[in-house]
Amino acid sequence: MQFESFAEFINMGGYGFYVWLSYGVTFGCLATLITLSVRKKRKVLIEIAKKMTREQRLKENRGTKS
């Protein structure tokens, strides 16, 4: 089955809205999932590093105050 022109490809035989909406939602969800999963590792490590600096600061303050 062939489409005659690019305009017809966008139209998809009258069902263009449904097809491209489905494609768009699927693609958007998958792209979001992939980028969030890949960035999660870096975010987790930065969180742990921040917690470590916080603990370090608390220990120092406890030492100087008492």
Using CB under 8 A, list all residues that contact another protein.
15, 30, 33-34, 37-38, 40-52
Q: Give 41 or 62: the residue with its C-beta nearer to another protein.
A: 41
Q: Give 30 or 58: the residue with its C-beta nearer to another protein.
A: 30
CB 9 within 8 A of CB 3: yes
Q: Which amino acid is at 13?
A: G
Q: Give 37 or 64: the residue with its C-beta nearer to another protein.
A: 37
Rg (CA), the chain: 26
